Amino acid sequence: MNSISVRALLVRGMLAGLIAGAFALAVAYFLGESHVDAAIALEEAHSHDHGGGEELVSRTMQATGGLATGVLVFGVAVGGIAALVFCYALGRIGDFGPRATAALIAGAALLAVYIVPFLKYPANPPAVGDPDTIGERTALFFLMVALSVLLAVAAVIIGRRLAPRLGNWNATVAAAAGFVLLIGLAYAFLPSFDEVGKDFPAGLLWEFRLSTLAVQVTLWSVFGVVFGYLTERLLTPSALAATSRTASAVN
Amino acid sequence: MAQSAVPATGTSAIAPISAKAIAPWAVFFGILMLVLLYFVGAEQGATALISGEGVHEWVHDGRHLLGFPCH
C-alpha cells in the first residue's frame, strides 16, 4: 500500500460521491422541490418586501441548475472526505474487508453528519426561520455537526480500545451508549430555535423535512454501495489475481 | 510487492495504509473538499467572502434540501 492507492481510493470516492449525488438530486427534485415551491408561495403571500421584485436567479434555474450544482458538489466533496476516512479506517476498525468498511463508513456518516444534527437542528423550508438569527443558527448547526463527528470518531477509538477486555460486542455497545449519552447532553444544553410561523402548515413542514432526510439517506446508501463495489474490486487480493492486467494499469 | 503479497495473504487481514502516506492527501484534498462544502452550504448566508447574493441564490434550493440553514 503506497500513496498511489490513496490517490486511487480518493478518485473512486469522488466518483462514487458524484453518482450518489445524481441519485440524491433525483430524489431532491422529484420529492423535495414541490415543498420548496409551496413554502415560497406562502412566503410571498405574507411578505411583500422579499427580494424587492427583481430576481437574481429565476425559480426555474434555482430548481434545476442551481439544485444540481449544490447536490452534485456536495456529493463529490463528501465522497472525497469519506474516501480519506476509508483510507485510514481500512484494516484499523476490525476484521472488515473493503466493501464492509465502505458500508460502515457510509452508515456512520449518514448518522453523524446528518441524522444526529438534524434531530436538534432540522432542515427548514423557505419562510421558516428568522433571518436575524441566521448567524447563530448556522454556527450552532456546524458546531453540532462537528461535535457529532468528533464524538463518533472518539466512540470508535474507545470501542477499539475496550474490545480486548470486553469483547467486540460489549465494547461496541459501551462505546455507542457513551456516544448517545454525550449527544443527549449536547441536545439538552445547546439552545433550540422555534421559528415556525403559527400559520405555516405543519403537514408541509413535516413533508419537507422528510424529503431532506430522503435526500441524505439516498446519497449515503448509494455512496456506500458504489464505493464498496469500487474498493472491493481495487483492493481484494482475489480480484487482483484474477485481473492482473487491470491491477497493473491502476498502478 | 503486489506479486509476493498475493499468494501469501488469505481472504482477510488487509494491511492498513500508513498515516504518513495518507497525510498529504488528507490535508490538501480535505481542505479543498471543506471549501467546496462551505460554498454550497454557508457562503453568503451567515458569512460572506464574495459580496452580493449570487452564490446564495444559485445554490438556494440545494441548501434547503441538503439541510443547511439558508436564511
Query: Grid cell 476498525 — which residue?
Result: A93
* Domain identity same for A97 and A66: yes
* Domain identity same for A172 and A87: no
Q: For A48-92, what is each residue's pLDDT tens digit?
A: 555 555 678 888 889 899 999 999 999 999 999 999 999 999 999
pLDDT given for residue B7 in this prediction = 44
* Domain identity same for A163 and A46: no
* B43 DSSP β-pair partners: B47
Which run of H or of E encompasses A121? none
Other Cβ atoms closer than 10 A to A68: 18
Alpha carbon distance A181, A55 (integer Å) = 46
* Domain identity same for A110 and A207: yes
* Domain identity same for A77 and A120: yes
* Domain identity same for A97 and A149: no
* Domain identity same for A206 and A190: no
* Domain identity same for A91 and A152: no
Which amino acid makes up residue A132? D
Does any CB of chain A come closer than 8 Å to the CB of residue B31? no
- Chain B's closest residue to A83, CA to CA, is B26
Q: For A131-146, what is each residue's pLDDT tens digit?
A: 888 999 999 999 999 9
How many domains does the structure of chain A reveal? 2
- CB-nearest to A237 from B9, B59, B65 is B9
Does any CB of chain A come closer than 8 Å to the CB of residue B38? no
Instruction: Give the whole-number percent of chain A exceeding pLDDT 70.
Output: 89
* Between A11 and B51, residue with greater pLDDT: A11
For residue B29, how far is the Cα from the chain centroid?
7
A129 φ/ψ sector (left φ>0, alpha ψ -120 to 50, else beta): left
Residues A156-170 have a mean pLDDT of: 95
pLDDT given for residue A247 in this prediction = 47
* Domain identity same for A108 and A33: yes
Sign of CA dihedral B1, B6, B10, B15: positive
- Chain B's closest residue to A70, CA to CA, is B62
Residue A77 belongs to domain spanning:
3-126+200-250
Q: Which of B69, B65, B70, B40 is nearest to A32 (CA)?
A: B65
- CB-nearest to B54 from A2, A56, A92 is A56
Q: For A190-239, what is each residue's pLDDT tens digit?
A: 999 988 888 899 999 999 999 999 999 999 999 999 999 999 999 886 65
Q: Is a pLDDT exceeding 70 seen at residue A33? A: yes
Q: Which of A7, A54, A58, A88 to mutate to test the interface with B (most CBs of B within 10 A)?
A: A88
CB of A125 closer than 8 Å to CB of A33: no
pLDDT given for residue A2 in this prediction = 54
Instruction: Look up the ipTM and state it.
Output: 0.87
Which amino acid makes up residue A180? V
Chain B nearest-CA distance from A75, in A, is 9
* Domain identity same for A117 and A241: yes
* Domain identity same for A20 and A66: yes
Does any CB of chain A come closer than 8 Å to the CB of residue B50? no
pTM score of the predicted model: 0.89
* Domain identity same for A122 and A133: no
Torsion of CA A231, A234, A237, A239, to 10 degrees: 110
pLDDT given for residue B48 in this prediction = 87
